[in-house]
A = this chain, B = another copy of it.
Amino acid sequence: MSENKFTDENVIARCVPMSKLQSVIGGKWKILILWYVAFYKVQRFGELMRRLDGVTQSTLTKQLRELENDGFLHREIYKEIPPKVEYSLTEFGESFIPVLQTMMTWSEKYLCPDYVNPYKEIMNE
C-alpha cells in the first residue's frame, strides 16, 4: 500500500467491526479456548481447565458462557452423574477457524521465532 486511499469515512466505518471483534475475543483466555476447541473438535470442561495453565474454574465458566452467548460455542449437557458437558464449535465458530490459523501462523513466526514446533506439517494439510 504505497498510497493512502483510506479516507476518514471508510476508516471510521471499519472501526465498528473491529471494535466488535475486540469485545468478543478480548477475554484473557478466549482465543486460547477457541484454539483448543477448534482443533480438538470437542472438549470437556475439565480438559480445558487442565490445559489452560492458571485459569480458575469460575473464570473458565465465565469465558465459556460468553463464548456460548456470542455464538462461538455449543454447550451439550449430558444428563449423567457425574456431570458431563461437551463444548464444540458452532457453524459460526467454525467460520472463525481461518482467523485463528492466520493468528497462529503469524504468532509462531513473529512471536516465537526460536520456537520449534515439532508438528509443523499438520497445519498446512
Contact = CB atoms under 8 A, between A and B. Distances in A.
Interface of A: 1, 4-7, 9-22, 24, 26, 28-32, 35-36, 39-41, 51, 92, 95-96, 98-99, 102-104, 106-112, 115, 117-119, 122, 125
A119 B7 contact: yes
Copies per assembly: 2
Contact of A115 (B12, B17, B108): B17
Nearest to A92: B110
A36 B99 CA distance: 19
B41 A4 contact: yes
A6 B40 contact: yes
Contacts of A111: 17, 20-21, 24
A112 B15 CA distance: 11
Given A20-B107, A119-B10, A4 B35 contact: no
